[in-house]
Chains A and B, each alone.
Chain A
């Protein structure tokens, strides 16, 4: 699952910045990459998201007091970067589907990619909170509690957003996914 475990709180702020950031990169970068890859339309966008996330994290490391897990903090930054980019430029997560598993029927793979593309486009049209809850839960693999922590909202609110998003998607893609 995504971003388990907390780093110890930073006690000696000045001396600890590099250490905290170094551990954040070592322990969280795979998870940040995974989520960035799933939030972004292309691999290149994901790389930008990843780099911008860590750049912002390092520049803002003095504001990180260790109250929350650094993974939560990084995820929040990642979501903000993604949101900013989405607001500034083109829609973000009409993602390119991952390649079909090796050995699978290419026709199935194509159909799956095509369906995934449409599902992601539908998610892209959801309200921000619904979209973030759904993506963090379904693509990031976070528990409701972790989603709530990342987004800074209550668990009940997360469930409410999640339910709304799920209902819309089930209604829209019910038959296609079953097939």
Chain B
């Protein structure tokens, strides 16, 4: 940089000159310098941050809280006041005077010294006063304070005055500023301030404090506080520390108090540990309660485990998700349905969620046997959704819904299935579904359908499927009216564990056929109707079977 014009160029913005500007255009060195200067000033100008409202409010409140300082006295007045004070002091301390002297002293009139300006308290004094002040006043003082105030609070927190220290620790925690962290870490080393410091670190909410707090989990006094603090701080590190402490403790229930904090800490370690704890006798109930209570924060970690590479852990996570039935898990569970190993568990979880979204997820892929079986536990939400689906839409969709209603086995679907049974294409499927549902309502619906010619054989079979004693007279009646149904009805009766069914078989079927049917029934039941010598029990393939003599 040796251009003689450089100084003028660098101040061109302050002293504009055409001559200098022209030089700056022509001189490569000056052009480069100007460009650099422009870049630096752009860099330094930066972006504006809006003024925090609490700062402006604090500034506005100053006149109500603090009196302005009195201006200092002018030098001459101050000197006069000081001299007067010295004279008065000298007179006051003087030894007993003679009468002559007394006359002299009477003539001196004491001059009142002007009041000296009250010394302005320093920040430390104000901080200490605020710490001792009522809460509202202290809050007003500390609101929005940082920097020097925090440094002072830190010194007080680690100082000799234990009372002020605890108040300072509390304030540091409420400051919400990471600058408070070092002082609180220091306070952890002082036993009688440790619990307060741990709580303050939790209130501060800076997760870097986890590693400072975690070592105190095994401390007899500070352990419970540390557990609560870690739960408040949350996150993976906190959960890992709590999980490690739970594993470290003997299986005597001493880790019970850590289960709740672990769940509240959230994260994948928490979720996986809680799932593991379900197998620990003393802790299982607490783990289950914690999983339910903190369901919202544990669902994502559980889903992450379910999507992980450890298949056993994934299956267990899905079982827990089935228990928790979180609606938010539907999309992830839907994706897991593509995994053949985990499909059944994911389907069970979706069925437990029991919402239309879960139903749509379950039917988003071709229906497989494991998914179909999962519908056995369907709740009212899913049944209502299936009923709606059975009532309208494409025939394949309706047929699938009807079949699944049968698997679900809810009497709430009977009415819709009765309607569907009268629909030409879906009739047989609806009748089968009614048979699977069983119970008096389904039997009544099937009895109503029995008179409808094209479904009669299916209805007779379905009545047997219900297994309900109320189906016996309907079957007998159907067989008596239509001789071609006798064999089907007798076979259907084998599914009904009731003496009336045994008697009906004997009535409807020829002796050889009846023997065959009765051999498929419960031997004890048959024996009650047909006592020996007509009936004998003989083992066949290891199972007791009935043989009609």
| Distance (whole angstroms) from the CB of A26 to the closest CB of chain B | 8
Contact B10 A59 (CB under 8 A): no
The 7 closest A-B pairs by CB, nearest first: A48-B147, A44-B146, A177-B39, A54-B59, A33-B51, A138-B44, A98-B46
- What 0/1 pattern do residues 33 to 67 of B give for CB contact below 8 A with A? 10111011101111111111001101110110010
A-B contact pairs, 26 of them (CB 8 A): A18-B63, A25-B56, A30-B50, A38-B44, A43-B49, A44-B146, A45-B146, A48-B146, A48-B148, A50-B59, A51-B145, A54-B62, A55-B62, A59-B68, A62-B69, A85-B147, A98-B47, A101-B47, A119-B40, A166-B11, A169-B40, A170-B10, A170-B40, A171-B1, A174-B36, A178-B39
CA gap between A115 and B42 in the complex, in Å: 12
Given contact pairs A22-B60, A116-B46, A59 touches B69 in the complex (Cβ within 8 A) = yes
- A residues contacting the other copy or chain, number (CB 8 A): 56
Per DSSP, are chain B's interface residues mostly helix, strand or loop, or mixed? helix
Contact B55 A21 (CB under 8 A): no
CA gap between A94 and B10 in the complex, in Å: 24
Contact B149 A48 (CB under 8 A): yes
With an 8 A cutoff between CB atoms, is A78 at the interface? no
Q: Choose among B6, B145, B179 the residue that contacts A167 (Cβ–Cβ < 8 A).
A: B6
- Which residues on B sit within 8 Å (CB–CB) of A99? 47
With an 8 A cutoff between CB atoms, is A126 at the interface? no
Task: For B68, give the chain A residue with the smallest CB separation.
Answer: A61
Q: Choose among B36, B41, B60, B68 the residue that contacts A62 (Cβ–Cβ < 8 A).
A: B68
Task: For B38, give the chain A residue with the smallest CB separation.
Answer: A177
| Distance (whole angstroms) from the CB of B64 to the closest CB of chain A | 9
With an 8 A cutoff between CB atoms, is B250 at the interface? no
With an 8 A cutoff between CB atoms, is A159 at the interface? yes
- Which residues on A sit within 8 Å (CB–CB) of B11? 159, 162-163, 166
Q: Choose among B7, B36, B144 the residue that contacts A51 (Cβ–Cβ < 8 A).
A: B144
Contact A141 B45 (CB under 8 A): yes
Given contact pairs A25-B59, A55-B66, A58-B66, A116 touches B148 in the complex (Cβ within 8 A) = no
With an 8 A cutoff between CB atoms, is B4 at the interface? no
Contact B37 A170 (CB under 8 A): yes
Contact B69 A97 (CB under 8 A): no
CA gap between A177 and B10 in the complex, in Å: 16
- Which residues on B sit within 8 Å (CB–CB) of A103? none
- What 0/1 pattern do residues 119 to 159 of A give for CB contact below 8 A with B? 11000000000000000001101001000000000000001
Q: Choose among B37, B49, B151, B177 the residue that contacts A98 (Cβ–Cβ < 8 A).
A: B49
| Distance (whole angstroms) from the CB of B282 to the closest CB of chain A | 47
Give chain A's interface residues, CB within 8 Å of chain B. 17-18, 21-22, 25, 29-30, 33-34, 37-38, 42-45, 47-52, 54-55, 58-63, 85, 89, 97-99, 101, 112, 115-116, 119-120, 138-139, 141, 144, 159, 162-163, 166-167, 169-171, 173-174, 177-178
- Which residues on B sit within 8 Å (CB–CB) of A55? 62, 66
- Which residues on B sit within 8 Å (CB–CB) of A120? 44
- Which residues on A sit within 8 Å (CB–CB) of B39? 177-178
Given contacts A98-B46, A167-B10, 8 further A-B contacts (CB under 8 A): A25-B56, A38-B44, A47-B146, A58-B68, A112-B43, A119-B40, A144-B14, A174-B36
CA gap between A166 and B32 in the complex, in Å: 13
Contact A29 B44 (CB under 8 A): no
With an 8 A cutoff between CB atoms, is B71 at the interface? yes
CA gap between A89 and B58 in the complex, in Å: 24
